[in-house]
Structure 1
Amino acid sequence: MLDEILRISQDGQRVYLSIGGHHQGDEPVDKHQIKDWLVANKVGSFFCFDDTIQSALAKLNDSAEHDESEEIIIAESRDATVEARIADDKMTAYLVVNGACGGSGLKANDILSTLREANIVRGIKKPTLQKLLSASGRLKPGEYLDVPVAFGRQPVPGEDAHIVYLIEDPADRVRRPRERDDGRVDMRDLGEMVMVKNGQPLAKLVPETAGYEGFTVTGSVLPTTPGKPMALNAHDGSEFSNKDPNILVATMAGIPRLLDDGVAVDDALSLDAVDVGTGHVNFEGSVVIKGDVEVGMKVTATGTVTVGGVVESCTITAGGDIIIQNGIIGRQVASDSEINCTLVAEGNIVAKFAQYATLCANNNLELTLHAMHCQTHVGKSLMIADATKRKGTLAGGKHEVGEKVEAVIIGASAGAHTYIHCFSRLALLKREVVDLNKQWEEKKAQLNRIKAAEAKLEALPAQKRDAAMVERITTTRDHLFEEIDNIEHEIEVTDAQIAAGYRESTIVATKSLLSRVHCTIGEEKHSVDSEHGPSILMYENAKIQLKPYQAKA
């Protein structure tokens, strides 16, 4: 009966159902019978129009007679198809392959032409295309694959130039004390001093890199940014290598002093201690003191001063770093403002602890245990913490810091008040802005007078104009324009420094922030009157904000 209502087209590509071939009294035909017939006639893999079959069977099984024959296509042979899909950011392209339904499988040219038509030209993974072509042949009718086949590349910015130091930093021995054979640490043992020999490599400049451009799968170029250059400079006791212009070597034996843009090598004076027996020390170069600097003594050096023991109620001045293997001990003479121990360094001050001392470091001040009742003046950062970040207390005293203060505990549970002022140079920068604006107004007034004189000259007949005067006015006008431009640029730079100063100034207590801590950032003030856990104070929305602090992983 089904053979009377179903037929395959002569080209074997379609299946027709004839409604007119069914008569009253014939058994109803259902969809499963249709599917079984398709399988039996070897066209079961054809794509079936299921909705069409359902509606056609409804007509077919109608009790009414169908005088006119009506043939409806219910299935057809379909070749495998492939289409491209590109992500919105154009960084990934996909191919969607639909399996063949009785028709031809996918061919390599089908894939390539689809890529071309979609303008997918870069980042194509050829092995993926080969696997996709092979897998498409195993798809059953109605199955499909959606596979990423092309990937863009994000641009890679260039790396900034940087300096690799080829020698040890002498201050690292304070940060990481020397370990004995039994595993214990001797805080007074300096170990072997960091010395360099004539001709020894000191530092190497790694130049900036250009970076790599990126691209999208459609071939658009994503530009990169090159790294920032920097200069490696020779300082006293160092020079550029004859073999490699990016390497500094020592020109003398001595103690190295690591700088931001190179390395200096200082002559070294080695002493067992500084006391009344040695007298005050004033040396052109670096000074190494294996023991203590005793009460009332003075040490002055153009290089780095390294002390293996304790410095007590003395004065030390260094053109480089001051490295104290143990601690700094002063005494309160009459008030907090009268302290009899002073250390001044053009570089960093690194020590285990400090109490009742005035500490001035042009760069950073680093202590591993505590600073008690000190006065500090630090150009960049004040950091108080041991290697485990469990110990490190800043309590009492007054502290002026250029950028950041960080300690495990800030403040004292009772008694002492702690005063911290970050970004203290704001007042100086604001005065600079006032002075620059005053200069701008003066130059602008001069320019207006010159323009008035120029207008008067232009009003004269050409033959009556003084050529020399015209030239002087033109030269002066151009010079004033240049000066005004320079002043405006300086104002922009200073304003940017003020914004950066506020942004970079933070006060961080990684464990506890106690009461009686008085904080200033720029000109804004905030007093802490209760105990807090890990905390950070920062300038935000025109005032100091106190927030919980979470260390970066």
Structure 2
Amino acid sequence: MLDDILRVSQDGQRVYLSAGNTQHTSEQPIEKKQIKDWLVHHQADAFFCFDDTIESALTKLNTPNDNSESEDFIIAERRDATIEARIADDKMTAYLIVNGACGGRGLKGDDILSTLREANIVRGIKKPTLQKLLSASGRLKPGEYLDVPVAFGRQPVAGEDAHIVYLIEDPADRVRRPREREDGTVDMRDLGEMVMVKQGQPLAKLVPETAGYEGFTVTGSVLSTSSGKPMTLAAHEGSAFSNKDPNILIATMAGIPRLQNDGVAVDDALSLDVVDVGTGHVNFEGSVVIKGDVEVGMKVTASGTVTVGGVVESATITAGADIIVQNGIIGRQVAADSDINCILVADGNIVAKFAQYATLCANKNVELTLHAMHCNTQVGQSLTISDTTKRKGTLAGGKHEVGEKLRAVIVGASAGAHTYIHCFPRLPLLKRQMVELNKDWEDKTAQLDKVKAAEAKLEALPPAKRDAAMVERITSTRDNLFEALDEIEKAIEETDTTIEASYRAASITATKSLLNRVHCTIGEEKHSINSEHGPSVLFYDNAAIELKPYQQNS
């Protein structure tokens, strides 16, 4: 019966089912399973079956009194394996989609290569993946498919910036990180030997910038990269370039190293056990190393770094570089509301374990490990009070002017002393500068208007009556005014940018506790703390000081 309505085409590529005005002679309807069994019997079960078509044909075939014309339905056909390419939108990944053969020819290597060529997939092709895909495609059952990434682009890698590797210890680091005992504990009093270098000792090495690597897409487009930024290693006083390697600095003399942004200087060092009435005041061109204390009333002045192994007590130290005090800075008030008699002034940084009743002025940063009590500080950049564990570090009392950031573990005192903090104190100066620049711009603009009027009068005269010398003077004056206005406008823009950047950089952070009696100013905006807070940060936003919880990972 089924042989009457089912047949394979002469070329063996398709299977037809005939249905129409002549119904099958059996009283039982023909089911789809019978069709499938017939396909198996005639070795056509691997063909691609059109299941919806089979259902439609059987409906027509099994419908009584269907007088419609006979119709041949293609219910299955032999299909070769197919392959197509798909490329991601960013063109960084390409895929091959393989549909398994349905009684037809399987996938061949040439099929894969031609598909890649037609899709213009030319770079980042993984040949082992192609081989595995070809092998796996032969195991696909009819109707199964593979969707496999076979090519990958490469993102460009920017070159690394040139940088300096210091080959010696920073003297200030020994205060920040005291020596560790064998049992793992730290002795805050034992900071090791003074950092000294010998003549010929390597100081720093320049690691040049790298070019980076270009990237590419799977279609072959080149993704450009950028080289790292170069920098110059400079030989400062007391250092020179090595004859063996021009990227290495060596010491030309024994002394105290002073790390610079672009190299290392070595200062001639004056070494003293203590500074007291026996030694007298010290004034030295170079660095001064004091193994012990600087005692009451003494003065130390140096063009380089001053390193103190003990305590500075009610003394004055002035340094052209850093001041490093391995223990504490202790002063006292001469009388109530009078000046403090312990003063440290550094053109670089001030680093110490603690300070109390002291005036600390640093052009760069002040870093204290334990506390600052009742001190006055003037800091060009940042004031930081914290040990390496971030568990200790208290700022209480005093007045503090900080160019950018203040950070301490605890800020303020629960009772007693008031603490005054002013971040970005340069704002009034910059505002005055802006007013003066705008006034200068208005004056120059008024002068330019007069010059243009005089120039217009001259141009109205016949050429024969124009004074050539006058024309030259007016032209020269006009050009000079244009140039001056350009410079003023640039200065206005730079000042405005400095104000905005300084506001963004200014912040006051207490990583553990912000206590009361803290009076904060950022620029010209003020905010007083009258209750205790946990970890907190104050910053400038929307013309006001905002107080928010401090996140430990920020």
TM-score, with structure 2 as normaliser: 0.94
Q: Which amino acid aligns with 1:379?
A: G
Q: In the comparison of the two structures, how many residue pairs are matched?
A: 553
2:214 alignment counterpart = 213
Q: Which amino acid aligns with 2:241?
A: F
TM-fit CA distance, 1:184: 4.9
Deviation track 1:230-254 (CA, whole Å, cap 9, x = no partner) reads 3332222122334444332222111
Instruction: Go from structure 1 to structure 2 and tell me whether the alpha carbon gap of 1:15 and 1:219 turns closer, same or farther (over 3 Å shift).
Output: same
Q: Which amino acid aligns with 1:488?
A: E
Q: Which moved more, 1:5-14 or 1:425-434?
A: 425-434
Measure, in 1, the Cα distance between the counterparts of 2:166 and 2:359: 31
1:325 alignment counterpart = 326
Give matches, 1:163-312, under 5 Å. Answer: 163-181=164-182, 184-312=185-313
2:456 alignment counterpart = 455
1:18 equivalent to 2:1? Answer no
Instruction: Go from structure 1 to structure 2 and tell me whether the alpha carbon gap of 1:282 and 1:449 turns closer, same or farther (over 3 Å shift).
Output: same
Q: Which amino acid aligns with 1:393?
A: T
2:534 alignment counterpart = 533
1:384 alignment counterpart = 385
Cα contact 1:316–1:342 (8 A) shared by 2: yes
TM-fit CA distance, 1:355: 0.8
Q: Which moved more, 1:102-111 or 1:170-179?
A: 102-111
1:157 alignment counterpart = 158
2:57 alignment counterpart = 56
1:355 alignment counterpart = 356
Instruction: Go from structure 1 to structure 2 and tell me whether the alpha carbon gap of 1:426 and 1:221 turns closer, same or farther (over 3 Å shift).
Output: farther
TM-fit CA distance, 1:88: 2.7
Cα contact 2:310–2:325 (8 A) shared by 1: yes
Instruction: Go from structure 1 to structure 2 and tell me whether the alpha carbon gap of 1:442 and 1:67 turns closer, same or farther (over 3 Å shift).
Output: closer
TM-fit CA distance, 1:183: 5.1
TM-fit CA distance, 1:4: 1.5
TM-fit CA distance, 1:127: 2.5
1:473 equivalent to 2:466? Answer no
1:37 equivalent to 2:38? Answer yes
TM-fit CA distance, 1:67: 7.0
Cα contact 1:93–1:150 (8 A) shared by 2: yes
Cα contact 1:297–1:314 (8 A) shared by 2: yes
Measure, in 1, the Cα distance between the counterparts of 2:365 and 2:338: 22
Q: Secondary structure at the match of 1:452?
A: helix
Q: Which amino acid aligns with 1:15?
A: V
Give matches, 1:431-446, under 5 Å. Answer: 431-446=432-447
TM-fit CA distance, 1:119: 3.4
Instruction: Go from structure 1 to structure 2 and tell me whether the alpha carbon gap of 1:360 and 1:85 turns closer, same or farther (over 3 Å shift).
Output: same
1:83 equivalent to 2:107? Answer no
Measure, in 1, the Cα distance between the counterparts of 2:336 and 2:206: 49
Q: Which amino acid aligns with 2:4?
A: E
Measure, in 1, the Cα distance between the counterparts of 2:434 and 2:162: 32
Instruction: Go from structure 1 to structure 2 and tell me whether the alpha carbon gap of 1:26 and 1:521 turns closer, same or farther (over 3 Å shift).
Output: same
Cα contact 1:24–1:65 (8 A) shared by 2: no
Cα contact 1:336–1:373 (8 A) shared by 2: no
Cα contact 2:23–2:64 (8 A) shared by 1: no
Q: Secondary structure at the match of 2:235?
A: coil
Instruction: Go from structure 1 to structure 2 and tell me whether the alpha carbon gap of 1:205 and 1:261 turns closer, same or farther (over 3 Å shift).
Output: same
Cα contact 1:5–1:22 (8 A) shared by 2: no
Measure, in 2, the Cα distance between the counterparts of 1:257 and 1:183: 30
TM-fit CA distance, 1:291: 1.1
4+ aligned runs moved over 6 Å, structure 1: none
Instruction: Go from structure 1 to structure 2 and tell me whether the alpha carbon gap of 1:549 and 1:453 turns closer, same or farther (over 3 Å shift).
Output: same
1:6 equivalent to 2:6? Answer yes
TM-fit CA distance, 1:84: 2.3
Q: Secondary structure at the match of 1:326?
A: strand
TM-fit CA distance, 1:144: 1.4
Q: Secondary structure at the match of 1:325?
A: strand
Give matches, 1:338-353, under 5 Å. Answer: 338-353=339-354
Q: Which amino acid aligns with 2:18?
A: S
Deviation track 1:153-176 (CA, whole Å, cap 9, x = no partner) reads 333233233222121111111111
Cα contact 1:513–1:531 (8 A) shared by 2: yes
2:417 alignment counterpart = 416
- Where do 5+ consecutive residues of structure 2 fail to align? none
Measure, in 2, the Cα distance between the counterparts of 1:476 and 1:245: 50
- Where do 5+ consecutive residues of structure 1 fail to align? none
Q: Secondary structure at the match of 2:98?
A: strand
Deviation track 1:19-50 (CA, whole Å, cap 9, x = no partner) reads 14642544311111111221221111111111
Q: Which moved more, 1:397-406 or 1:212-221?
A: 212-221
Q: Secondary structure at the match of 1:217?
A: coil
Measure, in 1, the Cα distance between the counterparts of 2:153 and 2:529: 52
Q: Which amino acid aligns with 1:356?
A: Y
Cα contact 1:189–1:308 (8 A) shared by 2: no
2:525 alignment counterpart = 524
1:403 alignment counterpart = 404
Q: Which amino acid aligns with 1:339?
A: I
1:542 alignment counterpart = 543
Instruction: Go from structure 1 to structure 2 and tell me whether the alpha carbon gap of 1:241 and 1:293 turns closer, same or farther (over 3 Å shift).
Output: same
TM-fit CA distance, 1:283: 1.1
Measure, in 2, the Cα distance between the counterparts of 1:214 and 1:320: 46
Measure, in 2, the Cα distance between the counterparts of 1:241 and 1:415: 58
Give matches, 1:90-101, under 5 Å. Answer: 90-101=91-102
Measure, in 2, the Cα distance between the counterparts of 1:165 and 1:196: 13
Cα contact 2:393–2:410 (8 A) shared by 1: yes
Instruction: Go from structure 1 to structure 2 and tell me whether the alpha carbon gap of 1:496 and 1:125 turns closer, same or farther (over 3 Å shift).
Output: farther
Measure, in 1, the Cα distance between the counterparts of 2:236 and 2:225: 35
TM-fit CA distance, 1:336: 5.3
Measure, in 2, the Cα distance between the counterparts of 1:224 and 1:45: 52
1:138 alignment counterpart = 139
Q: Which amino acid aligns with 2:334?
A: V
TM-fit CA distance, 1:219: 3.5
Cα contact 1:24–1:63 (8 A) shared by 2: no
Deviation track 1:62-81 (CA, whole Å, cap 9, x = no partner) reads 12255743110011112222
Cα contact 1:404–1:504 (8 A) shared by 2: yes
Measure, in 2, the Cα distance between the counterparts of 1:454 and 1:253: 68
TM-fit CA distance, 1:204: 2.2
Cα contact 1:24–1:64 (8 A) shared by 2: no
Deviation track 1:480-521 (CA, whole Å, cap 9, x = no partner) reads 222222222222222111111111111111111111111111
Q: Which moved more, 1:429-438 or 1:252-261?
A: 429-438
1:488 equivalent to 2:468? Answer no
Q: Secondary structure at the match of 1:339?
A: coil
Q: Which amino acid aligns with 2:552?
A: A
Instruction: Go from structure 1 to structure 2 and tell me whether the alpha carbon gap of 1:124 and 1:525 turns closer, same or farther (over 3 Å shift).
Output: farther
Cα contact 1:23–1:65 (8 A) shared by 2: no
